[in-house]
Amino acid sequence: MGQQFALGSLVGTIVGLWCWRGNQSLQVVSTFPDLFTFLLLTVLLTATVRFILRRSTVSGPSASLRVGVTVAVAAGAVFGSAVVLLGLLRFSNPAPMLLTFGFLTAFGSALLCGVVAAVVGTGTPGERVANG
How many domains does the chain fold into?
Answer: 1
Asked if residue 131 belongs to a domain, the reply is no
Asked if residue 117 belongs to a domain, the reply is yes
Asked if residue 107 belongs to a domain, the reply is yes
Angle at 21 between CA 48 and CA 81, to 5 degrees: 60
Asked if residue 85 belongs to a domain, the reply is yes
Q: What is the pLDDT of residue 113?
A: 94
Asked if residue 63 belongs to a domain, the reply is no
Angle at 72 between CA 21 and CA 94, to 5 degrees: 45
Residue 96 domain boundaries: 1-20+74-121
Asked if residue 59 belongs to a domain, the reply is no
Asked if residue 31 belongs to a domain, the reply is no
Q: Which residue has the higher pLDDT, 46 or 28?
A: 46
Cβ–Cβ < 8 Å for 83, 98: no
Reported pTM: 0.87
Q: What is the pLDDT of residue 15?
A: 96
**Residue 33 phi, psi (nearest 5):** -70, -20
Give the pLDDT band (50/70/90) at residue 127: low
Asked if residue 36 belongs to a domain, the reply is no
What is the percentage of the chain residues whose pLDDT exceeds 90?
63
